[in-house]
């Protein structure tokens, strides 16, 4: 996979639901979980809301973002809570944390291939990543490493990616 084709379609499956959204390959994104050093795909929360249960979505909607981390145990969706992790991050001039969760499956669509990746966490960023919504997710720089790909297949002609 070439870095010059940096806009992809990302399909996130969780609890029988799926969302598809544009994501860019961010070669500077080396964000990992504290537990297991698992790569993190950062996605703006609004793009994920339809994927979550009503209980989880309600908690995130009704709880001020600055309290997501301290109050996340108040969420009534116990199955989702079992998949949640707190992810510390550092960016230019900022050091903070975001909530992340382990989805059932992640598929990255390129113009000619479809990759299912394993052992990845979705980090929920509380704001839009791009004001024009040209992308809603940031793929980490080693996402296409063999250690993360569980399957790869050629996409049929006529499939449109971006």
Tens of pLDDT, residue by residue over 67-101, are: 888 898 899 999 999 999 989 887 777 777 889 99
Report pTM: 0.86
Q: Report pLDDT digits (tens) over 115-126.
A: 998 889 999 998
Give the pLDDT band of residue 146 (cuts 50, 70, 90).
low
**Whether the Cβ atoms of residue 121 and residue 85 lie closer than 8 Å to each other:** yes
């Amino acid at each position: 996979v070439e870095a010059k084709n940096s806009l992809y379609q990302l399909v996130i499956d969780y609890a029988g639901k799926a969302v598809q959204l544009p994501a860019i390959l961010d070669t500077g994104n080396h964000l990992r979980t504290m537990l297991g050093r698992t790569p993190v795909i950062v996605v703006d929360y609004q793009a994920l809301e339809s994927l979550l249960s009503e209980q989880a979505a309600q908690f995130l909607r009704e709880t001020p973002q600055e309290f997501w981390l301290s109050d996340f145990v108040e969420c009534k969706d116990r199955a989702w809570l079992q998949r949640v992790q707190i992810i510390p991050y550092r960016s230019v001039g900022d050091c903070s944390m975001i909530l992340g969760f382990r989805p059932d499956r992640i598929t990255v669509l390129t113009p000619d291939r479809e990759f299912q990746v394993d052992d990845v966490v979705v980090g929920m960023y509380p704001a839009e990543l791009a004001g024009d919504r040209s992308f809603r997710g940031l793929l980490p720089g080693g996402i296409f490493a063999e250690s993360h790909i569980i399957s790869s297949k050629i996409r049929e002609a006529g499939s449109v990616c971006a």
